[in-house]
Structure 1
Amino acid sequence: MSSEELALRQQMSELCASLFVRGFSVGTAGNVSARLHDGILMTPTNSTLGNVDPERIAKIDLDGNHVSGDKPTKEVFLHQAFYETRPEAGAVVHLHSTWATALSCLEDTDPNDCIPPLTPYVVMRVGTVKLVPYVKPGDPKSGDLIRELGGKYSAVLLANHGPVVSGKDLFSAVCAAEELEETAKLLVALRGLPTRLLDAEKVAELKETYGRI
């Protein structure tokens, strides 16, 4: 096993534990993956993010074959689809975090812009978030729905399920998932109140300065 893979396994274990202890994941909810040059590391199925053993993290090859570790998350199709359509993605984080999941359940959440530009950081770190229609957890169709987006979005909300966020590396993806969750919390807290969003000019300025998400 390469030093790169060993280091990534350790980082995944530590960041998953951090998400768990801070309430971004509960029970066995959520799954995380990261890309290597020869495959993808994924948290195992039916495991808690609070106690991910680096040696037992699943590894699949670039064709989706299970190579080592425990059996990968049942959401493997979801993760694979992000990597296939977003070549710049180095990691994917899927959580059942409270506030983002709440938005995914609200009937009036805009399916084309689930997380409006409330703060500059959600624009910079997350970008526009698309609502993906509901399918049962672990259904291969989830991958098809992501592929249909053509890599346009770095993050989505799975209807009545929760957020999925990609990033250039594992640390970036975790930070973006946290930013999405905190912004969702603000949006729910501000519901029914006069709210000032960033206008199109300000959003364009952020995108021009910080590039494509």
Structure 2
Amino acid sequence: MKQRMEASTTSRRPGGRSARVRAAVIAATLEELAAHGYSGLSLDSVATRAEVHRTSIYRRWRTKEMLVLDAMLEQAAETVAVPDTGSLRGDLLELAQRSAAIQTSPAGEAVVRAVAGEAPGNPELAAANARFWAERLELDRTIVERARGRGEIGPRADPGPAIEALLGPLYFRLLVTGEPLDPGFIEGIVDLVLAGCLWSGRSR
């Protein structure tokens, strides 16, 4: 039988147990979303899967929405780190490829579909989703800002719409048309966004 994450030991450094509990809970949350969707996820089911006491989850996250938000942020931070390839096209391509990979993973797709389906009728989840995207887009905009700093595109290129134009079609295919996020489609979107940045960044 596996040792429970809540078991104490004097040999562990301070903070080590806390980090392990958090990692186990985040992983269990994503697994529960993939297996049962948002409606089937509960803090108790996550505690059981993570092999931690449920009070550890209720004390840290308090609500399902807070836990899902934390899992979304953690998943994005680990899988979709802001790329820095040295070129705008390279950065846009890597960001789109990483985003597509996480969206098409079982846990990633479950999160996207859960938020899309539940957020309109769940103010707390809608607020968590808005916070997630505010933080995520703020990070991703640095791709365009760096390109402006290098002189690769003009100063008028707007980072916000550029990143939205890159990621939007990926979610449209996942949630609306169901068409695959294949490499050719991703490269085509990247080139369209790049062309838009070059055009909009010109001095007028």
What TM-score does the superposition give when structure 1 sets the normalisation length?
A: 0.29
Bigger strand share: 1
- Where is the helix percentage greater, Structure 1 or Structure 2? 2
Q: Which entry has the higher C-alpha Rg, 1 or 2?
A: 2
